[in-house]
């Protein structure tokens, strides 16, 4: 039984009390005693739910109430419901003619990040080398240009701290093979095995490269091998364009000092960097290009597929085989 079912009985009881000279003259009780008497009447009548004639939409009522963070926000007559806003930086409350309060050692802006959740930077990497700037790029160009021999260039690279990759790599991977060879091959960057041994192309891709050279009658004693990037990127990630530009003067000077008759670009990154192109390796490969050194020497260059790519895509080995046959023919023609 609910409130509506016994509402008429309650009104009848009120009229009886009024006829008896009671104080209750309306349907609603007004004193604690009358309220207690009415509740007792409801209980004896079996009322266990408080319902009204029409339903109430509590969701609509809740939506109409503004959500505030304090007592001042709970006054709907004074404050309108606030629409959701994106987090913005607080505007300065300093008057135009009032100097702002000086703060000793202000924190650096963190772009909305919580500084307490940011781990400390590795102490192994010097701050100057963590983010190479134009000064470091200029220094790399000056060091590369000043090297008159491969040994001197290697010493300059070993002492250069302007590339952040140096501080996460174990070794400088300079080169391997014969510096007097007619053929020079340039890859992108060392991998884990190369980083451990300090030599380029010594892992699985290196063994495949050895077989590719042997197929045209060459080996590491008759070729010179290097990389655009002499330090292994952490986790074998792709070097950033900035890292590539920092290291570019060294590999260009290395090519100039070796002065090979034929240059082979192993993979897209090597071809794009040394041939100044944005074309993909599948478009570049198989077509002779020209690498021009800083001194103006033009070297025939053959872009081809990287051995690591061939390990992942064996079906394209036939394309690399055609490219190496072109290299063999070019070397024979230039001798």
CA-nearest of 273, 294, 293 to 284 is 273
- Alpha helices, H only, 186-225: 192-197, 204-215
Q: How many domains does the chain have?
A: 2
CATH of the domain at 267: 3.40.470.10
140 plus 36 within the same structural domain: no
Residue 93 belongs to a domain: no
Residue entry with tokens 């021999």: 149
Domain final residue pick, 65, 87, 102: 65
150 plus 37 within the same structural domain: no
Question: Token pair of 94, please?
Answer: 């300093």
CB atoms under 10 Å from CB of 286, counted, come to 15
Residue 311 belongs to a domain: yes
Residue 246 belongs to a domain: yes
CB 110 within 8 A of CB 118: yes
148 plus 284 within the same structural domain: yes
* pLDDT, tens only, 163-194: 999 999 999 999 999 999 999 999 999 999 99
CB 208 within 8 A of CB 202: no
55 plus 157 within the same structural domain: no
CB 150 within 8 A of CB 179: yes
For residues 248 and 237, give the distance between their C-alpha atoms in angstroms, rounded to a whole number.
18
Residue 195 belongs to a domain: yes
57 plus 162 within the same structural domain: no
CB 11 within 8 A of CB 3: no
185 plus 320 within the same structural domain: yes
Residue 80 belongs to a domain: no
What is the domain range of residue 146?
130-334
* pLDDT, tens only, 101-143: 444 444 444 444 444 444 444 434 444 444 567 899 999 999 9
Mean pLDDT in consecutive groups of 10 residues from the start of the chain, 335 residues: 50 51 54 82 71 74 64 47 47 42 46 43 44 84 98 98 96 98 98 97 96 98 98 96 96 98 98 97 98 95 98 97 98 95
148 plus 250 within the same structural domain: yes
Residue 186 belongs to a domain: yes
Q: Looking at the whole model, is its pTM more than 0.75?
A: no
156 plus 270 within the same structural domain: yes
């Amino acid at each position: 039984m609910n409130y509506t079912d016994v509402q008429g009985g309650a009104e009848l009881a009120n009229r009886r009390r009024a006829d008896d000279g009671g104080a209750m003259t309306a349907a609603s009780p007004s004193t604690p005693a009358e309220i207690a008497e009415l509740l007792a009447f409801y209980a004896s009548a079996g009322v266990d739910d408080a319902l009204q004639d029409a339903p109430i939409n509590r969701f609509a009522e809740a939506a109409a109430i503004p959500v505030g963070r304090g007592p001042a926000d709970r006054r709907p007559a004074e404050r309108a419901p606030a629409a959701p806003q994106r987090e913005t930086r607080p505007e300065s409350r300093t008057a135009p003619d009032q100097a702002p309060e000086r703060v000793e050692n202000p924190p650096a802006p963190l772009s909305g990040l919580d500084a307490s959740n940011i781990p400390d930077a590795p102490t192994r990497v010097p701050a100057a080398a963590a983010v190479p700037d134009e000064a470091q790029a200029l220094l790399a160009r000056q060091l590369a240009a000043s090297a008159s021999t491969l040994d001197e260039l290697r010493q300059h690279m070993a002492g250069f701290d302007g590339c952040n990759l140096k501080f996460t790599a174990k070794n400088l991977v300079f080169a391997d093979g014969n510096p007097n060879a007619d053929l020079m091959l340039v890859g992108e960057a060392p991998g884990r095995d190369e980083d451990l041994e300090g030599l380029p192309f010594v892992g699985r891709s290196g063994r495949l490269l050895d077989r590719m050279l042997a197929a045209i009658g060459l080996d590491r004693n008759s070729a010179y091998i290097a990389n655009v990037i002499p330090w292994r990127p952490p986790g074998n990630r792709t070097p950033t364009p900035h890292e590539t530009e920092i290291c570019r003067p060294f590999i260009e000077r290395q090519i100039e000092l070796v002065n090979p008759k034929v240059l082979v670009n192993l993979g897209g990154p090597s071809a794009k960097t040394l041939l100044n192109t944005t074309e993909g390796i599948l478009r570049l490969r198989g077509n002779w290009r020209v690498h021009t050194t800083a001194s103006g020497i033009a070297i025939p260059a053959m872009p081809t597929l990287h051995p690591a790519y061939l390990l992942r895509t064996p079906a394209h080995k036939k394309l690399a085989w055609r490219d190496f046959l072109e290299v063999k023919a070019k070397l024979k023609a230039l001798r």
